[in-house]
Amino acid sequence: MSFSYHNSNNILPQRTIDPIGFGKVAIITGCASGIGLATTQLFLSHNYEVTGVDMHDIDYAKIDERDQGRFHFHKGDLIEPGECDEVVRICVAKYGRQKIDVLANIAGILDAYAAADVFTDREWERVLMVNLTVPTRMIRAVLPFMKANGGSIINVASKAAVSGAAAGVAYTASKHGLLGVTKNTAWRFHDEGIRCNAVLPGSLIDTGLGSTIEAANFDEASYGRQVPVHALQGPKASITPSEVANTILYLASDHAKSINGISLPIDRAWGVI
């Protein structure tokens, strides 16, 4: 039997008959792995038409056959000049509509926990580019296609967006910056029916994110200062990508139509510390 994330044994929800995404178009960045893949699967199961982008190949076996007709994958590195505009152009051309309902900015990379005394220029530029500049460019690119009908933008930030004790200085600055982009966009465009919110996942999500650390530059001293803070999450703190995906789906939907400009922790109370 072919893979189906609608099987009862799977952690993702059963096929739904609710029309939450019917006739709606979504762009999801970082769709090939982790939270982006779980969000893509969930949106497709709710009838969205999805354009997914990632710099790595996607395993089509992870997309239910019944959903593949509403899924278009674009392989591209979003830091390349013009690439964010290109994704939006492809999405509009693919579905033949002059509108985009949802942008989920999920692609991101981790730093090497380097603090301000040892970070490299290369790491700073790479992390700020992927985690802050790219989502902001994506927002700029989709806005013209949200102004007529409204839309929902969800930025995946992190506990590191509100804490100085969760990652290195580059990742921390990038995620703090992303909250500024979220709030600025929410206020500027709220009269046009465009919402912009952020989610702040905790740190124990089992994804490919750890593989993006540049091991050669790993800052043991900085990491050592953070281990006790991470440990406060407790042994049962682990969060699944699909739990984050469900929150993104909610913020994208009309159920959240009055929610704009928030930063929502998904961390089993770690965020209160």
Instruction: Kindly list the residues in this chain that would bind ligand NAD in the complex (CB under 6 A).
Output: 30, 32-36, 54-56, 77-79, 106-109, 130, 156, 158, 201, 203, 205, 207-209, 212
* Active-site hit among 5, 95, 113, 171: 171
Known active-site residue 159? no
Gyration radius (Cα) of the chain, Å = 18
Residues 174, 129: contact at Cβ < 8 Å?
no
**Catalytic residue (choose from 75, 94, 175, 236):** 175
User: How many whole angstroms separate alpha carbon 71 and alpha carbon 87?
Assistant: 13
Residue 36 CB, shortest distance to ligand NAD, in Å, is: 5
- Closer CB to ligand NAD, 47 or 202, in the complex: 202
Q: Least separation, in Å, of the C-beta of 107 and ligand NAD?
A: 4
Is residue 111 a contact partner of residue 171, using CB atoms and an 8 Å limit?
yes
CB nearer ligand NAD, residue 36 or residue 151? 36
Compute the least distance from the CB of residue 205 to ligand NAD, in Å: 3
Q: Which is nearer to ligand NAD, 99 or 270 (CB)?
A: 270
Closest alpha carbon to 200 in 154, 137, 135, 235: 154
Q: How far is the CB of 267 from ligand NAD (least distance, A)?
A: 9
Quote the tokens at residue 180.
Answer: 């500024």
Nearest-angstrom CA–CA distance, 9 and 48: 23
Q: Minimum distance between the CB of residue 56 and ligand NAD, rounded to whole angstroms?
A: 4
Burial string for 106-138 (b: 16+ CB within 10 Å, else e) reads bbbbbbbbbbeeebeeebbebbbebbbbbbbbb
Q: Report residue 4 as tokens.
A: 């189906």
**Closest separation in Å from C-beta 170 to ligand NAD:** 12
Strands (E), 37-177: 49-54, 71-75, 102-105, 151-156
Q: State CA 78 to chain mean position distance.
A: 13
Q: Minimal CA–CA distance to 181: which of 219, 225, 132, 147?
A: 132
Give the separation between CA 238 and CA 268, rounded to whole angstroms: 9
Q: Which is nearer to ligand NAD, 23 or 164 (CB)?
A: 164
Whether 175 sits among the annotated catalytic residues: the reply is yes
Residues annotated as catalytic are 171, 175
